[in-house]
Homo-oligomer: A and B are copies of this chain.
């Protein structure tokens, strides 16, 4: 029997997870936490096999909560779930000691098998992230830029060369039409920070406003037309 703790700030999301897990006869939900602090506290108390951890939560976020749970040396494993497959989240999550990283977009079956994998000590990463993750770790030692992007992967456009990783992430979501407020909320940032990022992106890419940036994101294939 695999015991699970659900940590997510959205009640409805928690409900969905709980129903899904309890429909399986080899899983039990020990409890639900609405924020990172609760997650840490309840883990120390209940010792679940797996914590299903959302990243974006008020107060203590999922990354920091993961870090603290792992630091206790408890055998509890953390499986991180996010809405967006932003690389930086994956890096941060795994760096914090998470055993897995899945996107909420996944099929229920994937989630279940992910939990089972993590419970038995395996690690699991969303397919869409695996390659990029490997790439990132491959050139973590040398600073040399990894081979000039094979066909199939988004090719690096010179216009984006001067952007930092973070800025490229922000540009991606600008390209998806997110407002500054949305970016701030979903990425757990202050709006002033978002504005700083956006301003630098516009300056570096020579775009006069975010609309030009959206167009740039499409033209560089940073964002694909749907």
Give the interface of A toward B (CB within 8 A).
Answer: 9-13, 15-17, 19-20, 23, 58-59, 84, 104-108, 111, 175-177, 179, 182, 185, 209-212, 214-215, 218-219, 221, 225-226
Contacts and interface: CB of A to CB of B under 8 A. Distances in A.
16 contacts: A10-B104, A11-B108, A12-B13, A12-B17, A12-B20, A12-B108, A13-B104, A15-B16, A15-B108, A19-B19, A19-B23, A175-B215, A176-B215, A179-B209, A210-B211, A214-B215
A182 to B, nearest CB: 7
Contacts of A11: 105-108
B214 A106 contact: no
Contacts of A209: 179
Contacts of A211: 177, 210-211, 214
A177 B15 contact: no
Nearest to A107: B11
Contact of A225 (B16, B107, B225): B225
Contacts of A84: 182, 185
* Number of copies of this protein chain within its complex: 2
Contacts of A23: 19
A18 B136 CA distance: 38
A111 B225 contact: no
Contacts of A108: 11-12, 15
A219 B225 contact: yes
A103 B146 CA distance: 40
B10 A20 contact: no
A23 to B, nearest CB: 8
A6 to B, nearest CB: 12
A211 B177 CA distance: 6
A225 B214 contact: no
A5 B84 CA distance: 25
